[in-house]
Amino acid sequence: DADVTQTPRNRITKTGKRIMLECSQTKGHDRMYWYRQDPGLGLRLIYYSFDVKDINKGEISDGYSVSRQAQAKFSLSLESAIPNQTALYFCATSDTGTSGTGELFFGEGSRLTVL
């Protein structure tokens, strides 16, 4: 089983619908992240959390919200999806002790299409 699991892996939805992407990890890491990947734009940070009580906005948080339900679970919500939120979404984790190395552990991604 993967250390960082994202569900669903693929989702097609319509404009205006509420969508939740879920992430769970078995690595025991305290830090969790949500990134968005678009062709030609690289990975951009949406939200990050350093522990259960800590939530921070990233570079492109508008239109998104997150919830850290437990150390191992971090979910991303689109309250009212719009077509330009069509992208590949990645959850990642890191450990506070090794955060200086820049090593993030990524899930396999959730491809979201908003029609």
Binding residues for other proteins, rule: CB under 8 A, are 4, 40-45, 48, 56, 58, 90, 92, 99-109
Q: Min. distance of Cβ 62 from other proteins in angstroms? A: 17
- Nearer to other proteins by Cβ, of 40 and 84: the residue is 40
Q: Which run of H or of E encompasses 19?
A: strand 19-25
What secondary structure does DSSP assign to 69-103, as a single string?
EETTEEEEEESS--GGG-EEEEEEEE-GGGGGGT-
Q: Min. distance of Cβ 85 from other proteins in angstroms? A: 19
Q: Min. distance of Cβ 106 from other proteins in angstroms? A: 3
Looking at residue 83, its amino acid is P
- Nearer to other proteins by Cβ, of 63 and 109: the residue is 109
CA angle 20, 56, 69 (to 5 degrees): 45
Beta bridge pairs of residue 84: none
- Nearer to other proteins by Cβ, of 56 and 80: the residue is 56
